[in-house]
Amino acid sequence: MSEHNAPGNATAPTGGSANGRFRPMAVAAVRLDSIGESIGVAVPGPSAAVSVTGITLNSRTVEPGDLYVALPGAVRHGADFVPQALAAGAAAILTDDAGARQLALSADTSVPVLVVDEPRNVVGPLSAMIYRSQPSAGGALRLFGVTGTNGKTTTTYFINALLRSLGQKTGLVGTIEILAGGEPIPSLLTTPESTDLHGLLALMRERGLEAASMEVSSHAVSFQRVDGVVFDVAGFTNLTQDHLDLHGTMDEYFSTKAELFTPRRARAAVVTVDDGWGRRLASTAEIPVTSLAVTPAGAPADWTVTDTAARGLGTDFTLRGPGGASLQVHTGLPGSFNVANAALAAVMVITSGVEVAAVQSALDRHDPFTVAVPGRMQLVAEEPAAVVDFAHNTDALARALEAVRPPLPGSRLIVVFGATGQRDQGKRPAMGAVAARLADTVIVTDDDPHDEDAAAIRADVLAGARTAKQQDSLDCDILEVFPRDAAIRQAVELAGPRDAILVAGRGHEVWQEVKGVNLALDDRVELRNALTAGGFTVLQDDRIES
């Protein structure tokens, strides 16, 4: 997708540092003939010596010396923006036949133009070449990539926290933010475009970072955002229905995820084998696999979770590995899924070469798996227990509801959620059914409708909830309340001190997209304000700006 044709009207951040750049401060120039040779394009005459010091798909982020990549988009071709790229100092253009024909009609293209059939296929490797972003195995910047349907964000935060507890300087790339040793940058994509990603990795190396953890979504693989990146360790959480609007079938969804576990993308893997998809991946991956079983029903594995015991909102557990190795682990985040996330993070770090004893020492000293992850099982109040979570598919919603169910007899669980527009429609009634089966009060509202009719989305979710209530003779209340802030207030008005409220689906997000317009909306702020207005005590959290 061309960045000029991205959905919505939000403006993407242009960099991963204080000066707004997703690239290092210093880049050694690469001759254009070397670039041409790497993609099979001859660069004749004086053009051969042209120096390239950067690469971008976005004409708005071109800097002097850049190779501007003009890709076809859903609405316009990147060649339309060549004048802006040239004005900003682009040293050369890379495009396809259609872009070249368009540029040939202009007399203003004063820089060399390289033409390949599918420029998207070469962007990642070229970015790695220009920014020298990929060290050899065991290089200065170790990379951890986490994929799966649920748990990617929390696992990357856990890896980051554990590595920091081990005394390492770390970076992070994910749904919520990008950390490159400076101020966090909010993310609009789970994984940045490959040009930005390689620039960011080079920036991390320039700043002396030793390791980075990264979410790798199926979109990132499908849209070639991680091309040219080789992870030291790739991790797999789970696979449940999601994103079938892109992939069509679960088999296709799995195949896209499985691409990460090939030699061109990773050197080693840790795979959670609690579901059939994980077991299939562990048996078919083309790289060395360390298996992890979290649930008692999981397949035999190299590492297993045992002796789980609740402690406060979190869990203590033992992680047992090869040769009698074991770790005593605690996570302060609620839910069995956070046990899985913590276990995966620990085994991925061990697989990267860190001694088990060093990991145990870090766990004992710093409790890294209690790190707060914005919008992931984020506790806003304790009486009632009020939680905001990103759960936006059937499996994640079920796990979140089970995690926050209050233990006291007579207490109730209230859930507020919706479904995203222009996404997998098949999961909407399934989410409604899960909510009806696991909650006492179901409040269906709007998530991000995008360009779809919000009422039609709510109707799909409500149909699933009402059908489940009738078929299973469930004793739950089902309400339709919108807009979303009103639904959150309704939940608080219905709650008593012993009850629990789960606001699910949006997590850390601070904008709601409706018909191409971004409306300010933060579930954490709305929930905190509603609780305060209702006379309840909220937890202090500097990250929630009410």
14 has pLDDT over 50: no
Last residue of a domain, one of 130, 158, 176: 130
153/295 same-domain check = yes
433/325 same-domain check = no
Per-residue confidence at 360, pLDDT binned at 50, 70, 90? Answer: very high
384/446 same-domain check = yes
Residue 81 lies in a domain: yes
CA 80 to each of CA 55, 352, 527, 541: distance values in angstroms, whole numbers, following the listed order: 17, 45, 45, 46
CATH number at 9 reads: 3.40.1390.10
36 has pLDDT over 90: yes
Mean pLDDT for the chain? 90
Residue 265 lies in a domain: yes
For the chain, what percent of residues have pLDDT higher than 90?
A: 78
Write down the pLDDT at residue 63.
Answer: 96
Domain span at residue 448? 378-533
261 has pLDDT over 90: yes
86, 109 Cβ separation under 8 angstroms: yes
Write down the pLDDT at residue 190.
Answer: 62
Q: Give the pLDDT confidence of 449-484 residue by residue, as tens digits.
A: 999 999 999 999 999 999 999 999 999 999 999 999
Write down the pLDDT at residue 176.
Answer: 87
Residue 295 lies in a domain: yes
Interatomic CA distance for residues 3 and 205, integer angstroms: 26
Write down the pLDDT at residue 412.
Answer: 98
345/399 same-domain check = no
274, 294 Cβ separation under 8 angstroms: yes
Last residue of a domain, one of 339, 370, 401: 370
Q: What is the mean pLDDT of residues 356-375?
A: 95
Note the pTM of the prediction, 2 decimals: 0.84
Write down the pLDDT at residue 16.
Answer: 38
Residue 331 lies in a domain: yes
154/295 same-domain check = yes
133 has pLDDT over 80: yes
254/331 same-domain check = yes
Per-residue confidence at 219, pLDDT binned at 50, 70, 90? Answer: confident
CATH number at 351 reads: 3.40.1190.10
425/366 same-domain check = no
Amino acid at residue number 468: A
164/34 same-domain check = no
Residue 220 lies in a domain: yes
CA 488 to each of CA 142, 359, 440, 484, 530: distance values in angstroms, whole numbers, following the listed order: 42, 41, 15, 6, 7
Write down the pLDDT at residue 9.
Answer: 27
Per-residue confidence at 8, pLDDT binned at 50, 70, 90? Answer: very low
**Could you identify the residue written with the tokens 């203590």?**
316
Q: What is the mean pLDDT of residues 412-421?
A: 97
For the chain, what percent of residues have pLDDT higher than 70?
A: 92
Per-residue confidence at 248, pLDDT binned at 50, 70, 90? Answer: low
Q: DSSP alpha helices (H): ranges in 419-504?
A: 427-438, 454-472, 484-494
Residue 176 lies in a domain: no
Q: What is the mean pLDDT of residues 379-397?
A: 93
Minimum mean pLDDT among 103-107, 151-155, 286-290, 490-494: which range? 103-107
Per-residue confidence at 15, pLDDT binned at 50, 70, 90? Answer: very low
Per-residue confidence at 10, pLDDT binned at 50, 70, 90? Answer: very low
277/218 same-domain check = yes
Q: What is the mean pLDDT of residues 90-119?
A: 93
* Nearest by Cα to 326 from 296, 356, 302: 356
Write down the pLDDT at residue 458.
Answer: 98
13/104 same-domain check = yes
34 has pLDDT over 60: yes
CATH number at 528 reads: 3.90.190.20
* Nearest by Cα to 281 from 305, 261, 298, 251: 261
Per-residue confidence at 372, pLDDT binned at 50, 70, 90? Answer: confident
Tally of domains within the chain: 3
Last residue of a domain, one of 130, 151, 185: 130
154, 221 Cβ separation under 8 angstroms: no
359/242 same-domain check = yes
Residue 174 lies in a domain: no
229/359 same-domain check = yes
Residue 546 lies in a domain: no
Q: What is the mean pLDDT of residues 288-295?
A: 97
Write down the pLDDT at residue 312.
Answer: 81
